[in-house]
Amino acid sequence: MNDTTMTIVGNLVDEPKLRRTKNQHAVTTFRVASTSRRFSREEGRFVDNSTLFVSVSCWRALAENAFESLHKGQQVVVTGRYYQREYEINEAKRMAYELEATSIGHDLTRGVTEFRKMIRVPVTGSITVDEDGIPADESEHYIGLEDDPELAEEIGAERFTRDGIESSAVAQKEFAAAR
Lowest mean pLDDT among 67-71, 72-76, 110-114, 130-134: 130-134
133: pLDDT confidence band, cut at 50, 70 and 90?
Answer: confident
> Where in the chain does DSSP place strands (E)?
5-12, 17-20, 26-40, 45-59, 75-89, 92-106, 161-162, 165-166
**Last residue of a domain, which of 90, 106, 122?**
106
pTM of the model: 0.64
Number of other CB atoms surrounding residue 114 within 10 Å: 5
**Last residue of a domain, which of 106, 124, 149?**
106
139: pLDDT confidence band, cut at 50, 70 and 90?
Answer: low
Supply the range of the domain harboring residue 156: 139-178
Rounded CA gap, 64 and 27, in Å? 8
Helix-then-strand count for the chain, H and E: 4, 8
Is 90 in the same domain as 152? no
Q: What is the mean pLDDT of residues 21-26?
A: 91
Is 144 in the same domain as 102? no
